[in-house]
Structure 1
């Protein structure tokens, strides 16, 4: 059940990132979708959706790798340094 919930949590940002890519592509070709009136606004919203989706998926993978201790040593050292600095 936990894996199904995790999959559902990951599908939503992937869908939003895909939608953002579609909005950016449409604005480059001059196609304005329904909720937008300008292609510039549509492109900016698409860029934000894509960035948010990639950021969320990347953060999820990074957190999972840290938890399972599968990260490379250099990344673990950097993570430990930032945690120590935050504690001070």
Structure 2
């Protein structure tokens, strides 16, 4: 039973940053295309763009770090990325 709970928690740890990265990408897209709006507002939404960029960077870096750590633990990485031994 505990193994299933651990897997669900691990899945949630990957889903939340994935949603953050997705929302960040969509916010950046909306901020960029808002300047071409048909409603007459030709302004760039800097606040929304920066928030989206931060969320996207956090989400992608967390997932990338997770994958890198897992691959390093299983010896799937190139020799230059392996842990240094004394």
Q: Normalising TM by the smaller chain, what interval?
A: 0.7 to 0.9
- Verify the 8 A CA contact 2:72 2:81 in the aligned structure 1: no
Give the paired residue count.
74
In the alignment, which residue of structure 2 is the partner of 1:27?
A: 31
In 1, Cα distance between equivalents of 2:78 and 2:46: 40
In the alignment, which residue of structure 1 is the partner of 2:46?
A: 40
Shift of 1:24: 0.3
In the alignment, which residue of structure 1 is the partner of 2:60?
A: 54
> Structure 1 residue 16 and structure 2 residue 29: aligned?
no
> Structure 1 residue 75 and structure 2 residue 81: aligned?
yes
In 1, Cα distance between equivalents of 2:67 and 2:15: 14
- Verify the 8 A CA contact 2:31 2:48 in the aligned structure 1: yes
What SS does the aligned partner of 2:66 have? helix
Q: Which has the larger radius of gyration?
A: 2
Shift of 1:80: 1.6
Shift of 1:74: 2.1
